[in-house]
Amino acid sequence: MTTPRLPGYEVAPWELRWRWLDLDALRRTESTFALSNGHIGFRGSFEEGEPRGLPGTYLNGFYERRPLPYAEAGYGYPEDGQTVVNVTDGKIIRLLVEDEPVDMRYGSAPHHERVLDFRSGTLRRNTEWVSPTGRRVRITSERLVSFTQRAIAAIHYEVEPLDGQAQLVVQSELLANEPIDGDVDDPRVAAVLKGALVSDFAVGEGSRAVLGHHTRRSGLRMAAAMDHEVDAPAEVSTENWTEGDLARLTLAAEVPQGRKLALTKYVAYGWSSQRSPQALRAQVEAALAGARQSGWQGLLDEQRAYLDDFWEAADVEVDGDAELQQAVRFALFHVLQAGARGETRAIPAKGLTGPGYDGHAFWDTESFVLPLLTYTLPDAARNALQWRHSTLDKARTRAAQLGQSGAAFPWRSIDGDECSGYWPAGTAAFHINADVADATARYLAATGDGDFEASAGLELLVETARLWTSLGHHDAHGRFRIDGVTGPDEYTAVVDNNVYTNLMAQRNLHEAASHCELHPELASALGVDEEETARWRDAADRVVVPYDEALDVHPQSEGFTKHAHWDFANTPPEGYPLLLHYPYFDLYRKQVVKQADLVLAMWLRGDAFTPEEKARNVAYYEALTVRDSSLSSSVQAVLTAEVGHLELAYDYFAEAALADLHDIYQNVRQGLHIAALAGAWIAAVAGFGGMRDHGGELSFAPRLPPELSRISFRLCFAGSRICVTIHRDEATYALSHGEPVRTSHHGRPILLTQGQPITMPVPRPPENPLPRQPAGRAPTRRRLQPTPGG
Amino acid sequence: MTTPRLPGYEVAPWELRWRWLDLDALRRTESTFALSNGHIGFRGSFEEGEPRGLPGTYLNGFYERRPLPYAEAGYGYPEDGQTVVNVTDGKIIRLLVEDEPVDMRYGSAPHHERVLDFRSGTLRRNTEWVSPTGRRVRITSERLVSFTQRAIAAIHYEVEPLDGQAQLVVQSELLANEPIDGDVDDPRVAAVLKGALVSDFAVGEGSRAVLGHHTRRSGLRMAAAMDHEVDAPAEVSTENWTEGDLARLTLAAEVPQGRKLALTKYVAYGWSSQRSPQALRAQVEAALAGARQSGWQGLLDEQRAYLDDFWEAADVEVDGDAELQQAVRFALFHVLQAGARGETRAIPAKGLTGPGYDGHAFWDTESFVLPLLTYTLPDAARNALQWRHSTLDKARTRAAQLGQSGAAFPWRSIDGDECSGYWPAGTAAFHINADVADATARYLAATGDGDFEASAGLELLVETARLWTSLGHHDAHGRFRIDGVTGPDEYTAVVDNNVYTNLMAQRNLHEAASHCELHPELASALGVDEEETARWRDAADRVVVPYDEALDVHPQSEGFTKHAHWDFANTPPEGYPLLLHYPYFDLYRKQVVKQADLVLAMWLRGDAFTPEEKARNVAYYEALTVRDSSLSSSVQAVLTAEVGHLELAYDYFAEAALADLHDIYQNVRQGLHIAALAGAWIAAVAGFGGMRDHGGELSFAPRLPPELSRISFRLCFAGSRICVTIHRDEATYALSHGEPVRTSHHGRPILLTQGQPITMPVPRPPENPLPRQPAGRAPTRRRLQPTPGG
């Protein structure tokens, strides 16, 4: 896998800086420089609106419906899709310098840099621009999407003439229905919706304006409001103009050289499927009033305090690879942004950083993002599970439509309705239900959150368990089979007894039964009796886990190892990703793996495999896995680390962490790969930290790759805070806060108490022959790359 | 399966008569009364144009393109579909009686009947109509689509005033772009295209007119022309009017009571993807000249002579069930109409009787229609195979696109390009290629047609054999597996080692190798060497045929018998056809069979099963097969007869023969089920006649069901003609023409020579326990139904 180094990002531990003007990279950097609090998302586009890559402003859960067409329709195919809408853009602050619009495609920029600061939670910009006629100005801006005031974004913007007094005209806008270009040569790229917003109202007066809109087909309503504070060294004339899709505050002033025209813009957003336009208007105006009361500095202070808390709980330190240190914090920062304040909304696969995957959420959330959030920001994990729970009625309806009991969560969705238009890789991927249950059980074990268990958690476990007993059946020998479903690997579909699915269903059934046993009254209220829990346990105990005795490996699913091998030798580099160059029929029937599947089972259900099985399976599946999905390298890092291939694990770690900074999948313009970024944490904590949580028991088995001298990470567990520091030969466990925690180090039990760090020796890794990857698909050898600036 | 008896058809041995006016049944009878010669198709609509069900005039191979939409696109999905076009309607002869348009929705019809005559090859109509104001006329018409003059249809039309002199105005039309209603609540129903035809020219003079059109997207050109002969007892004023989509000859006359205004209308059609409008105009005008030279009586005489020959070679006599006798001749007549003069065009699943399935041809042709045509009208069989051969370049291109060698014929198509928009039930059904090869080998064995073998047959065998060696692979034990394909049963998809597919591929590989061995020079010209034929033979000999040792049956495909059984007990009658009420995912993963699959293998590859295996497999699959496809009952008739369930076979025979007359599938309005009709012949000849042709050896094993006293059928074989007559206790074989034929009777070799009929005793059938069908899905017990008029 090639990881082209893009120019531009400078290596620094706590920020992402881009010092040059590279118009071609605009779309990519709009994604990496995106700001979000999980409710509002601002892509990192320039204040002046143009040049631009793919402008984007998103509100979590706000979507438009579109019909899903089928060449040949079928029963149970979803009729409607959902697509995230580019809502009213509140980022825009246009500037004219002596009648010349500032546009970086013209004139020149002797200095230009943008900095995403992981500790301040802001995007700063500093541009010195020379107009085509030679006038020089400095533009500085800083903006944030507030973690503490969920409806608020704000921009502080300053312009300074550098070569004598200049007339400056600033236009601060709210702009709806921006025309955007499509990008449709890839089936994975989102459909583009044009003119999705219909104006409900547009009002403005003084420094304030509000626009109200609704979507044409989904009928969702939104409002966006702005207010401003101006600080100018001279008289400023102002004009407030509003019309349907546009609100504009225009400021004009003669500004002397060396003085600055400063503008603080507060933007508030709200949306609802129920509330009236009037109520929404009141809501955003109230939010604006709150933000103005805090003021710009107040918002900055709150933002930094919020992030100080986050880093205290979540930081991962990596010594020995400065770029990777930066990438890991970049990853953590963006996962935080995706999940912080979603609150009963989904965490989409792209967060709120771009329109990719139509803005849908997948199993990525539960299986990749929630492990991170559960141990670093458990409230955000609970909120994400709360969203799933809020869609239970839709999931029950879907299950019934499919002839099943319990709940069938959608493969991809914004509001909980299935939006997958290709059932073999959508509806059939029932494992998402076990993934939801696993995330629920993990959250409950890691937090002991009894309120959530009672209000939502138990019901999630029960309804997903019910699905499995209806999906599976007992064969003539009493074995419990789950036939005709699709596992995580999207290059294999509609198979019998996928090992991952069966083992995760097994856990789901056991967890549901155990939690019902602990809470018989709650269980009874959900209609669960002892007969039902007995059926769950029986099915779980008898679940089929196929094994290939001849090859001594687990087939990913029944019959998998009998299939022909993919002809890797004759697949050219440009043949990847394979799904764009080969038909599904041929991918499905051959031994080629898009993403960790059996290997994922060995992480999440590592308790179901022996160390020897893990080593053999890793060797077998490494040779088949092409990583055409961003959900693979982190999992491969975990398992290759466990079986002793620490250098290889390090390469996979880097691939996950750098997925978007190196644009490995060549589509970061459509938004970040939030699950791959969460995978950087997974690779560090579960990979090199060896952290596992089977059955709610926390355990560690740390080992460093030779390239790194230290990894240190923090975890929240049962209200306590743990810090694990791994050196080459020893690892130290410290409890910084809370009750004592029982855990283990390479199988040896330890009890962590405050003020008593425990240091343990790191044993030598197991020795297994280094596996091979398909021709051309080995991860980039990290040590061969000089680390720029590092 | 319910077989509602529709009112209307009268039982008669050589005709189909409908004596009442039933406007609700119009769409159905337009299909059953359709006329066609395989090139032109006229649905059985009234001359006066209205009332109408679904008017239709079709030219074989003439289609419009339409984009195939996908909710989620994939590599190799066809972008364009093809839909048969309702072309310029030449059937229309409107009538005004004293200013009152004849329309059977108004006034009354004291007498009305229509007769499809299987020996004259015409559709006759006799209507006495009383206008709302009380004027009475008799309208008689007879029409034909000529078997002998391929471009020609003709109508002889007479009107007689019955209550005094009347002014009659007759408008004979060519009408393009008739608006037609859609019928889209079933995914199997064709897309309706509106305004598909663009006018190229419209000319008319005297009694003649020609309209030229082309299709908007596919760019095919067509012309339709008409000419007339008028016979009137009084002066007739005429007017010829033509405009873009309409040509109209208007005749007006005062006709005395008891006299007739008679009109003969000749209609000629032509189309081309290459020829100019001028050339097409000349072509249809030339055809008209030929038809006029023959005259109406000449056309009638030719038609009858053609049919006399056909019935001489193809008739099947059934004593003891008059309705079934009629149904079998109806079936033979329509299969003849579908295949007679297609000439290098496909035989669509609906023939040219309606727009169902978009007018596409499927494997139905090779596996159901061609067995009949090969032994009754071998030239038509050759033409259909010639069509396949003419699409070889497209099939090679498709195979290459799919990463395969050889040829991959389309699952559904008009011109040879794949039009299937759902790959698991389309592209993956690679068995169609073995079906083409099987039909080719059968035709070659039955005719010894060396010219066809050299020009097309061998290449068809070779290119399909090449597909199999690239589709399959050898496993570690040297067994040849064909993974990830779909067999005939559309309720199971994308499976490993489907028995039918593997056995048919085996035959394909052997036939290709044998024919290449016989014709080394021809083989060499196709690039075949001994290494390649050795590889084919090796693959064929080592092909995997899964067997379930525990159940002692063949699983339809690997793992099939491990799947859960469909819950038939809880499937209500209105839940059928299942595909409209249950999701594919659930159908695919359970033991439920839409149509004969393993059972079909036991017919076409009966040489690969022991009698005991057949009996056990029949019992097993009878219990799983719901017959939601019209391709099933005939095959079930064949195998249930073979294993001794003769009454059950009789029920399946009736279900196949009456599929359209009883509208069993509730969609005959969209066109006839040509393969089900061919299945009536299969049930009689292969079922009760026990005819098999494995390896080109003809054999018989006749047995009658108790309800019938005699079945007699005729076959063409190697230029000879055989008649087989089956009585309860004995069967007689006679050679009426040609060289002696070696065959066998229940395994005993016999040699048939002219003038020396051989009579042999019929042994008792094997005794096997009567199988059960899924609840509610047993075929209608035929003996419980009183035979109307019989």
CA torsion angle B205 B154 B44 B204 (round to 10): -10
Mean local confidence (pLDDT), B251-275: 97
Q: Which residue has 């079909």 as its token pair? A: B600
CA distance linking residue B122 with residue B296, whole number of Å:
12
Q: What pLDDT does residue B34 have?
A: 98
Mind telling me how many Å the CA of A661 is from chain B's nearest CA?
28
For A484-513, the pLDDT digits (tens) are 999 999 999 999 999 999 999 999 999 999
pLDDT at B188 over 50: no
CB contact under 8 A, A562 and B74: no
Six-digit token string for B520 = 């080394």
Where in the sequence numbering do the catalytic residues of A fall? 490
Residue in chain B nearest A358 by alpha carbon? B72
Pairing mode of beta strands B590-591, B564-565: parallel
Helix, strand, coil % in chain B, rounded to nearest 5: 35, 25, 40
- The CATH classification number of B412-626 equals 1.50.10.10
Q: How confident is the model at residue A149 (pLDDT cuts 50, 70, 90)?
A: very high
Give the span between the Cα atoms of B718 and B445, in whole angstroms.
Answer: 8
Is the pLDDT score of B3 beyond 70?
no
Q: Do domains A1-32+319-361+655-790 and A38-312 have the same CATH topology?
A: no
Q: Which residue has the tokens 């003419």?
A: B390
pLDDT surpasses 50 at B789: no
Cα distance between residue B753 and residue B757, in whole Å? 8
- Residue B698 pLDDT exceeds 70: yes
- Note the pLDDT of residue B23: 77
Cα separation, A507 vs A168, whole angstroms? 64
Name the band, by pLDDT with cuts 50, 70 and 90, for residue A298: very high
Tokens 């067509």 locate to B222
B478 touches chain A (CB under 8 A): no
Write out pLDDT tens, residues B195-206.
889 999 999 999
Residue B182: band (very low, low, confident or very high) from pLDDT cuts 50, 70, 90 = low
Neighbours of A382 (CB within 10 A): 24
Confirm or reject contact between B77 and chain A (CB < 8 A): yes
Q: Residue A193 — very low, low, confident or very high, per pLDDT cuts 50/70/90?
A: low
Share of chain B above pLDDT 70, in %: 97
Report yes or no: A359 and A688 within 8 Å, Cβ to Cβ.
Answer: no
Distances (CA, A) of A1 to A626, A648, B220: 8, 13, 48
pLDDT at B406 over 70: yes
pLDDT of amino acid A22:
79
Give the distance between the most distant pair of CA atoms in chain A: 90
Instruction: Let me know: does B180 contact B55? Beta carbons within 8 Å.
Output: yes
- For residue A423, the chain B residues in CB contact (below 8 A) are 583-585
User: pLDDT tens digits, residue range B218-230?
Assistant: 999 999 999 999 9
Q: Which amino acid is at B123?
A: L
Using the Cβ of A424 and the Cβ atoms of chain B, whether some distance falls under 8 Å is answered with: yes
Identify whether the C-beta of residue A154 lies closer than 8 Å to the C-beta of residue A291.
yes
pLDDT digits (tens, 9 = 90+) for B114-140: 999 999 999 999 999 999 999 999 999
- Positive or negative, the CA dihedral B70, B75, B76, B80 is positive
Tens digits of per-residue pLDDT, B430-479? Answer: 999 999 999 999 999 999 999 999 999 999 999 999 999 999 999 999 99
Question: Quick check: B568 contacting A, CB < 8 Å?
Answer: no
Whether the CA torsion A20, A26, A31, A37 is positive or negative: it is: positive
Per-residue pLDDT band at B55 (split at 50, 70, 90): confident
Q: Distance between CA A480 and CA B56 in Å, rounded?
A: 54
**What's the CA gap between B20 and B666, in Å, rounded?**
21
What is the average pLDDT score of chain A? Answer: 95
pLDDT the model gives residue B699:
98
Apex A208 CA angle, A203 and A209, nearest 5: 30
> What CA–CA distances, in Å, run from B775 to A352, A353, B622, B643, B702?
53, 55, 11, 22, 31
Under an 8 A CB cutoff, do B562 and A481 touch? yes
pLDDT at A20: 81
* 8 A C-beta contact, residue B651 and residue B629: no
Burial, A7: exposed, middle or buried (Cβ in 10 Å; 0-12, 13-18, 19+)? exposed
Q: Name A228's Cβ contacts closer than 8 Å, sequence gap at least 6.
A: A172, A207, A208, A249, A263, A264, A265, A266
Per-residue pLDDT reduced to its tens digit, A681-692: 999 999 999 999
- Contact criterion met (CB below 8 Å) for A614 and A642: yes
Judged against a pLDDT cut of 80, whether residue A182 lies above it is answered with no
Task: Estimate the share of chain A in helix, then strand, then coil, as percent rounded to the nearest 5.
Answer: 35, 25, 40
Q: Interior CA angle at A70 toward B670 and B417, to 5°?
A: 70
Q: Which of A69, A75, A428 sits opposite B70 (nearest CB)?
A: A69
Please write the tens of the pLDDT for every residue from A556-577.
999 999 999 999 999 999 999 9
Interface test with B, best of A68, A75, A475, A566 (most B CBs within 10 A): A75
d(CA B405, CA B75): 18
Domain residue extents for chain B: 1-8+316-376+653-790, 33-312, 412-626
For residue A284, with 0-12 CB atoms within 10 Å meaning exposed, 13-18 middle and 19 or more buried, which class applies? buried
The CATH class of A38-312 is mainly beta
- pLDDT tens profile A238-294: 999 999 999 999 999 999 999 999 999 999 999 999 999 999 999 999 999 999 999
pTM: predicted TM-score of the whole model, two decimal places: 0.94
Taking the CA atoms of residue A520, residue A521, residue A525 and residue A527 in that order, the dihedral angle to the nearest 10 degrees is 30
Q: How many CB pairs (< 8 A) connect A and B?
A: 156
Residue B179, pLDDT > 90, answer no
Residue A549 carries which DSSP code? T
Mean pLDDT of B719-735: 97
Compute the C-alpha angle A165/A170/A171, nearest 5°: 165
Q: What is the CATH number of domain B33-312?
A: 2.70.98.40
* CATH code of the domain occupying A1-32+319-361+655-790: 2.60.420.10
Q: Nearest 5°: CA angle at A158, between A154 and A161?
A: 165
B490 as an active site residue: the answer is: yes
Residue in A closest to B424 by C-alpha: A585
User: Residue range B747-759: average pLDDT?
Assistant: 97
Q: Which of B490, B511, B642, B655 is catalytic?
A: B490
Q: How far apart are CA B321 and CA B319, in angstroms?
A: 6
Q: Do B70 and A74 touch (CB under 8 A)?
A: no
Average pLDDT of chain B is 95
Interface of B with A in 363-422 (CB under 8 A): 401-403, 420-422
Counting residues of chain B whose pLDDT is more than 90, the rounded percentage is 92
Instruction: Name the pLDDT band for B20 (thresholds 50, 70, 90).
Output: confident
Structure tokens that stand for B404 in this block: 């395969």
A475 contact residues in B (CB cutoff 8 A): 562
Nearest to B592 by CA among B604, B575, B605: B575
State the DSSP H helix or E strand holding residue A703, giving kind and residue range, or none if neither. none
Q: Looking at the complex, does the CB of residue A485 fall below 8 Å from at least one CB of chain B?
A: yes
Q: What is the pLDDT of residues A703-716, one digit of tens each?
A: 999 999 999 999 99
Pairing, β A221-231 against β B108-117: unpaired
Percent of chain A at pLDDT > 70 equals 97
Residue-level pLDDT at A790: 36
Q: Which residues of B touch A585 (CB under 8 A)?
A: 76, 402, 423, 427-428, 484-485, 494
Give me the CATH code for the B1-8+316-376+653-790 domain, please.
2.60.420.10
The Cα of B348 is separated from the nearest Cα of chain A by a number of Å equal to: 19
The answer to whether the Cα torsion of A291, A292, A296, A298 is positive or negative is: negative
Binding site per annotation, positions of B for substrate: 363-364, 594-595
Tell me the residues of chain B between 190 and 229 that have a Cβ less than 8 Å away from chain A: none
Q: Point out the annotated binding site of A for substrate.
A: 363-364, 594-595
Indicate yes or no: CB of B72 within 8 angstroms of CB of A421: yes
Contact yes or no for A101/A168 (Cβ under 8 A): no
Q: How far is CA B25 from CA B6, B32, B48, B276, in A?
A: 9, 11, 17, 41
pLDDT at B343 over 90: no
